[in-house]
Amino acid sequence: MRGYLSNIREAVTTVADGLAVTFSHLVRKPCTVQYPDRIPRPVQQTLPPRYRGILDVDMEICTGCLACERACPINCIAIEIAKDKETKTTLISRFDIDIAKCMYCGLCTQPCPTGAIHHTTEFEGACESIGGLVRRFVSEPVVAYKPKKGPEPDARVAEVLERGKKYLDDFAKPASAQPAASTGEAAG
């Protein structure tokens, strides 16, 4: 008999407590973001700078070293270069990234010497044909960038180089090269 009554008592108290929790949720703000039209700012602007979205390549500062193509575990980057012996320049005739195959791991962005290949905050890559998912960054052959010893003379390229350098600075440096970093604020 005592078990019977305690069963009823437990049932009533726990159910009532659960009902109190759900009732308290009726006056809370929902956490839904009503994308894409009823939001205060576009989502791309709210994403953190490290967000690994669709890849983009700044051909102005690409050195044609093929480090990204080698690093990619899934072989979604296709680059074609031709080394010109007389002018000592490299001509890049093809730079394709298949974003359908890409798994957004970021392994290609780590070995890039100038930060030309980088992730953006773009994530809306849907298109109507699967051929449209291959991003081609070279329309006509372009001369690869040669890193200068001093500051870069061309102002436009210098700006792009600055962005690339800032992107690369965010990555952790190997132990022997890195000075001691402080907790949080100064890092990155």
Binding map of another protein across residues 99-118, x = CB under 8 A, - = no contact: ----xxxxx--xx-------
| Options 94, 146, 148, 173; binder of another protein; rule CB under 8 A | 173
β-bridge mates for residue 80, sequence order: 94
| Options 27, 126, 130, 155; binder of another protein; rule CB under 8 A | 27
Question: How far apart are the C-alpha atoms of 140 and 144, rounded to whole Å?
Answer: 12
Q: Return the biggest CA–CA distance within the chain.
A: 101
- 5 counts as binding another protein under rule CB under 8 A: no
Binding map of another protein across residues 111-150, x = CB under 8 A, - = no contact: x-------x-------------------------------
Question: How far apart are the C-alpha atoms of 188 and 139, rounded to whole Å?
Answer: 35
- Tokens 């436009």 label which residue? 156
**In the complex, minimum distance from the CB of residue 83 to another protein, in angstroms, rounded to a whole number:** 22
Contacts of 14 by beta carbon, 8 Å cutoff, 6+ apart: none
Residues 29-48 that bind another protein (CB under 8 A): 29-32, 34, 47-48
C-beta separation of 143 from 61 below 8 A = no
**In the complex, minimum distance from the CB of residue 89 to another protein, in angstroms, rounded to a whole number:** 25
CA angle 27, 8, 20 (to 5 degrees): 5
Question: How far apart are the C-alpha atoms of 20 and 77, rounded to whole Å?
Answer: 55
C-beta separation of 104 from 50 below 8 A = no
- 182 counts as binding another protein under rule CB under 8 A: yes
**In the complex, minimum distance from the CB of residue 87 to another protein, in angstroms, rounded to a whole number:** 29
**In the complex, minimum distance from the CB of residue 185 to another protein, in angstroms, rounded to a whole number:** 5
Binding residues for another protein (CB under 8 A): 7-8, 10-11, 14-32, 34, 47-52, 71-74, 103-107, 110-111, 119, 170-176, 178, 180-188
